Every structure is written in C-alpha cells, then in structure tokens.
Chain A
C-alpha cells in the first residue's frame, strides 16, 4: 500500500534535516533542523543582529564533515578570526564577489549543484520566482543547503517564491525571534525565539 503512488498521504515522511544547533528551532521545524537539499530565505531588518550566528553551528558541522561553504556577494568581508574562533575551517570557505548582480544567482546555482559544497550563502539584490526554482532544483541535485539573505522590504509581501522555508528575523535581548513565514510541509508554531549560548 505504502509503495503505491495512487495512495495519497497528507504528510510525506520528510527527509531528516540538518540540525540547527538550537533546540527550540529544531523542535519547530518539521525536518528537525534545516531542510537538506533546498533553499531558505532569511529576511532581516538590518545586518548585524545575529543573522549569521544562526547558521554558525551548521557551518561548523559541515566544516567538520569536510564540506565546503561558499559566501556569495556578502555585504562585508567575513572576518577570518571570528570564523576560526567558531570552529569553522577557513580552508573550506570561499568568498565570491561577482561584478554583476546576475552572476550571483548563477554562481550559487553552480555551487549548489556541486556535491562538495554543503552550504552556499548569498546576498542577492533581487529574486524572481524562476531563479528561485532553479536554485531549489540545484540544491536538491547537490543535496546542499542554500541560504538567501535579504533586507526587510517595506510594503506588502512580494510574489510567492517556490521556496522551502522563509523566515524573518527580529532581534531580542540576547537572541533572535524567528518568524516562520512559510514552511513547506506544515508549520507547528508561527514564531520561535532562540537565545545565544
């Protein structure tokens, strides 16, 4: 019965995710972590509220597994001592600063498709639903995680993105509130608060 395609089940057994390193967040997400083989959108009101710190445990884990992490068009230069302090191998990190905005998404797609690349973090200037779908497919093929950062935009929500997970961050005292805007596969609670260790 279970093997038959004609049987519809409400919730597919989801693939196990990549542990986020924050127990509250793991509990709130249906994959018990970040969804592997997909793309996440992170909306943040400002740079510097802890938007990278959220992914440091994941980066550290991937770096231990020997998988590479790519930073595409970061707004500032990642500070090497801070990364090595967090236990992330600098040898596995590569910084890419494309000259043209459209090259950001091309590079990200190419990197996500590579199995050796575990994580690609990008700061794109604009996103379209077509390009997001391409990224999503590439991430599934390479079994890697893509993270797209964007600054909080005023006004109503833009067009819906074919994205697995979309979160909005807000800073609180010694932590972050993560508002789960869209979770493919069902959302258990709309808002999670994580505190820094």
Chain B
C-alpha cells in the first residue's frame, strides 16, 4: 500500500532523496517549565495523581514515574509536588519549535515533549549533519532544556529512538528494520493495554514484532498497530502538520521630508495602518497591540503604543487611537520615517449583530471610547473593580476585568482608605476632625492567619461633629488602645 519504496528495493541510486527527520525530545519539559523551588526533590504529577516526571534528586530517593503521589511523598520528606501544566508545556514546545525554524522550515510538533524536523534540505547549507547538530545545540541552549536527539528517515522512527535515548542517525529506510530491532516493546507509543497484550504473547523487542505476519497481527491486535508499525518503517505515508511560527507584521514608511507636523505623520501612519489591515484580512486575523516607532534625524526614535481592548482590524479606529496618543506626546524633533511592528496577531471574531436591538454597536461604542481614553491618558489609568470573597476588608476587592460577583450584604463604606490611618486620642477620646462617637458595632473580623496576613480587628461605625460617618477599627493584635480609620461612608 505504501507509496514509499519497499524494503526489497535498493535505494542507493538516490533519485529522490529520502527525508531525514531529526527528532528532538525534551524528557524533562514538564519539570523544566516550573520555576526552581527550594527543594531539588521535585516531581510533576498528572491529574490522576500519578507521578509524570521526576528530578534527579527525586529519582535518587526512589521516586519513579507512574507511582501514586502519596507513595512518592512517603519516600521523601522534602518532595515538592508540582501539578502538570499541559498548556505551558505546549507553549514551551512551540518556543523550541520556533527556534528550530532557523534550521529548516519543515518543523512539526510531536506533543507532549518532542519536535521533529526534516533536515535533509539543510544538510549542505550547514555543512552536514554535524553542523546542524552544533547549530541546534547553540539555538536550544538558552531554553535550558535537556534533550535527546535521533535522526531517521521517518518521523515515527526518529521519535521512537529519541524516546529510547539512542542518539544515532539512520540513513535509508531499508536499515530501519535492523536498527530498531533491539528496542524494547514498551518504548512504542501505543495504548498500555495493547502493549500488555503484546507482552503476554511473548514479544519483548521490536525484532519479535517484525517477524510476525502482518495479516495475523492486524487480525489479533487491530489495524492500528499495523499502521503504526508501517509508519515507523516508512511503508505508509505519515503526513505531519507543520509548525508555523506566529505571524508578525513589520513595515516602514519614509517621509518625503523630515517633519514634525502631526498631519504629515498621521498620513504616513494611515498608509501603514491600511497595509496592516490588509495583512490582517489576508490572514483572517485581528490585533490588539501595535507598536509604532517614529524615527528622528539623530538616530533615536519615539515609541508609540496603540492598544485596543479586543482584537480588531479597523484602520480608521486604529489611526484615531494613534492620533490621540500622538497628540499628547512632545516629539524631540522632526520625524523622518515610521516603522510599524505588530506581533500580537490572533484570529479575528467579528462582533455579533443583533437583529432587533443595536446593543452590539453600543457596546462597541463604549469599548472604543475606553480605548480612546486609554490612548490619550496612558495605560493604567482606566481600571475596573471587582469584589472578592474574603472577610478582610482590604482583600475583599481588587482591580480587574469586571467579573462582578456579589459580596455578602454587610454595611460597608463607599470609600476605603488605601492604608488604614492611625487615629489619635485627645482627652482619652478618639479624635478625627473632632471627637468621635461610636454609632454601631463592633463587627469582629478575624481571619487571614492561614496566609500570613493575620488580621484581628473590631470594626465600628463612628461619627464626628461634622456628621461624617467613619468606619474605624481597633486592632486587637496590638496591646495598647490602637485605633485606625479605614473608610468613609461617602
């Protein structure tokens, strides 16, 4: 069934060179993505509480992959258990793949922990296989992951060898059969049940599998196994999705003459924004952040950031935001040219249209207004607040992306002071712009002992001669009679 040459055919003629898949496996990717902790004894556990990968120190302590987390914790007191984070693993893998694109455009991800690259067409450029290896070593070193490599004419064979840590290069499909023969059965990327069944029939190495008749294998163990073995030996085509590095847009525009006039700069930016939007439309994408650099005569540049709250591709709106940001800048000198860079490119979802009410455009209108304010006033001036379920008043809110959860109904002041303000005493009475009288309370708030921000306070509502209602508390952690003002009922 294979399009690829069969075993018997002699391929020394090399009419069509076979691919050479260099597979790189990062055996400790799941561990490496976690920041280093205090203890060198570390283990990453799966969602089902079994150990996924272990550090060297943990291995020395007797912890092995596959054992339950409880058993692992019993073996070492210093064990640091980390949850597995598949998304971050994939991200780290994509980062590695992105770097590998420097060697060859044919890069394919093999999750969870490997990448496969076809380096056949790059061999001459980099001076042979050794050259590619040294370049890859230099490229991957900054990432700090350990890796094993293996090269084979098929990606599955390469991955299999890399998994077995055999760092060898195999040229020619006809040599795969003998080269892979010594590998253990359990290194195959197959279902554990299927492997168990194969093991029970006395198969220990791949060599044993090669000897069995195809038809019988397919009948007893399913077509899946036969197809996998065929892919390993290149008897069946194995198309792989190529990894495409994230889109980037970069374009420049020279002004005909250096100018500090906003209209001129804006005109040039308009052309670049139109170009950007054409680029985004072509890729069915939108952007939420565009960086523009205004170059001046003396080699320096002014950066201008244009940010939107949702991914968009409206040239007029982007230009409007750019103008707003430009207006509140003072340029150090005339501008000779512009450069636009955009790396934050994501799939574009157009706003939903409502049949009856025009709510979508109203919401968009509001977003556009906020974006304009942001462009003019700068990044962190516009914020939302949300409440958090916590008894401690200062932890019961945070800045964030408006989730709007409801807190428990208690009487709370509309103004909360950023820091509790120490109240003074006069004639043994509390004083804040006048003598204070307690109106209601106390409300005991005592919590946070679990996260080191211990808080034991009695809250009262007090009023002063100006009839301002104040939210004050007595700190019970301190011995003497210490009172603080924490809020105002605005």
Whether A and B are associated in the same complex: the answer reads: yes
- Inside 8 A of A85's CB, which chain B residues have their CB? 407, 409-410, 412
The answer to the question of A115 belonging to the interface, with a C-beta cut-off of 8 Å to chain B, is yes
Measured between alpha carbons, how far is A45 from B373 in the docked complex, in Å?
31
B487: nearest chain-A partner, CB-CB: A79
Q: Known contacts A53-B414, A79-B487; decide if A115 and B365 are in contact (CB<8 Å).
A: yes
A166 to chain B, nearest CB (A): 19
Q: A142 CA to B14 CA in the complex, in Å?
A: 75
Is the pair B469, A78 in contact by a Cβ cutoff of 8 Å? no
Instruction: Mark contacts of A20-56 with chain B using CB atoms, 8 A cut-off: 1 yes-contact digit, 0 otherwise.
Output: 0000000000000000000000000111111111000
CA distance A54 to B415 in the complex (A): 14
- Cβ-based interface call for A131 (8 A): no
A residues 91-143 touching B (CB-CB < 8 Å): 91-99, 103, 106-107, 110-111, 114-117
- A84 and B403 within 8 A (CB): no
Taking a contact as CB atoms under 8 Å apart, the answer to whether B385 and A78 are in contact is: yes
A8 to chain B, nearest CB (A): 38
Task: Decide if A81 touches B387 in the complex (CB within 8 Å).
Answer: yes
Given A89-B404, A114-B365, A171-B466, A76:B377 Cβ within 8 A: no
CB neighbours of B207 from chain A (8 A) = none
Is A82 positioned at the interface, with any CB of B under 8 Å from its CB?
A: yes
Residue pair B489, A50 in contact (C-beta under 8 Å): yes
Q: Is the CB of B416 within 8 A of A76?
A: yes
CB <8 Å contact, A96 and B396: no
Measured between beta carbons, the chain A residues less than 8 angstroms from B369 are 110-111, 114, 116-117
A-contact 0/1 string along B405-438, CB 8 Å cutoff: 1111110111111100000000000000100000
Q: In the assembled complex, how far is the CB of residue A55 from the closest CB belonging to chain B, in whole angstroms?
A: 10
- Interface of A, secondary structure class, is mixed
* Nearest A-chain residue to B397, judged by Cβ: A80
Give the distance in Å from the alpha carbon of A91 to the alpha carbon of B412 in the complex: 19
What is the chain A residue whose CB lies nearest that of B387? A80
**Nearest opposing residue in chain A for B389, CB measure:** A81
In chain A, what residue has the closest Cβ to B388?
A: A80
Q: Which of B436-490 contact A (CB under 8 A)?
A: 466-470, 487-490
Closest chain B residue to A103 by CB distance? B377
Q: Is the CB of B404 within 8 A of A90?
A: yes
- B490 contacts A48, C-beta separation under 8 Å: yes
A187 at the interface (CB under 8 A from B): no
Given contacts A53-B414, A95-B385, A106-B376, contact A84 B406 (CB under 8 A): yes
Least Cβ–Cβ distance between A74 and chain B, in angstroms:
8
A183 CA / B372 CA spacing, docked (Å): 34
Shortest beta-carbon distance from B326 to chain A in Å: 15
The answer to whether A90 touches B387 (Cβ under 8 A) is yes
Nearest CB of chain A from residue B409's CB, rounded to whole Å: 5
Q: A80-B387, A94-B382, A95-B384 are in contact. Are A171 and B468 (CB under 8 A)?
A: yes
- By a beta-carbon cutoff of 8 Å, the part of chain B in contact with chain A is 359, 362-363, 365-366, 369-370, 372-373, 376-378, 381-388, 393, 396-398, 402-410, 412-418, 433, 466-470, 487-490
Known: A46-B468, A91-B403. 9 other contacts (CB 8 A): A76-B490, A79-B415, A79-B487, A83-B385, A90-B403, A95-B385, A98-B377, A117-B369, A173-B467
Seen from chain A, the residues whose Cβ lies within 8 Å of a Cβ on chain B are 45-53, 66, 68, 75-85, 89-99, 103, 106-107, 110-111, 114-117, 171-173
Subset of 16 A-B contacts with CB under 8 Å = A46-B468, A47-B490, A79-B413, A80-B407, A81-B393, A81-B397, A85-B409, A85-B410, A90-B386, A90-B387, A90-B404, A93-B402, A96-B373, A97-B383, A171-B466, A172-B467
